[in-house]
Amino acid sequence: MRRQRVRKKISGTGERPRLNVFRSLNNIYAQIIDDEKGVTLASASTLAPELKGKLDSCSNTAAAAAVGELIAKKAIDAGIKNVVFDRAGYIYHGRIKALAEAARSGGLEF
């Protein structure tokens, strides 16, 4: 219910796509999505080959920060600088906050 209510209000465009975050018990995922075309422009997660062997745990704030840095790097490489942050109803605390701050320090603006 909460996720649907949030998605009704937040939408990404071609010039300002949506940075979506999904948090599971064991991993964290981030996607940059253009909602007008229905296309994922970049994605990163703790399961990504770039991070798979380097993390002690995939479910802590350090892992979320690593995913934030990786999604920022992939977005900058794809020519994306401004995004809309979609935390999908999760409170802005812990892993969500760590991912967002790492993405900001990596060069994304939101």
- Asked if the structure places residue 72 within a domain, the reply is yes
Under DSSP, is residue 10 helix (H, G, I), strand (E, B) or coil?
Answer: coil
pLDDT score of 5? 79
Q: Which domain holds residue 91?
A: 2-105
Q: Which residue has the tokens 């071609």?
A: 14
pLDDT score of 1? 81
Block mean pLDDT (10 aa), the chain, length 110? 79 91 97 96 97 92 98 97 94 98 97
Number of domains comprising the chain: 1
CA distances from 29 to 4, 40, 60, 64, 89 (A): 18, 13, 13, 8, 15
- Asked if the structure places residue 67 within a domain, the reply is yes
pLDDT score of 87? 93
Domain of 24, CATH number, reads 3.30.420.100
- Asked if the structure places residue 28 within a domain, the reply is yes
Give backbone dihedrals phi and psi of 23, rounded to 5 degrees, phi first.
-120, 125
pLDDT score of 27? 97
- Asked if the structure places residue 80 within a domain, the reply is yes
pLDDT score of 2? 79
Q: Model pTM greater than 0.85? A: yes
- Asked if the structure places residue 66 within a domain, the reply is yes
- Asked if the structure places residue 110 within a domain, the reply is no
- Asked if the structure places residue 68 within a domain, the reply is yes
If we measure between CA atoms, which residue out of 73, 64, 75, 20 comes closest to residue 42? 75
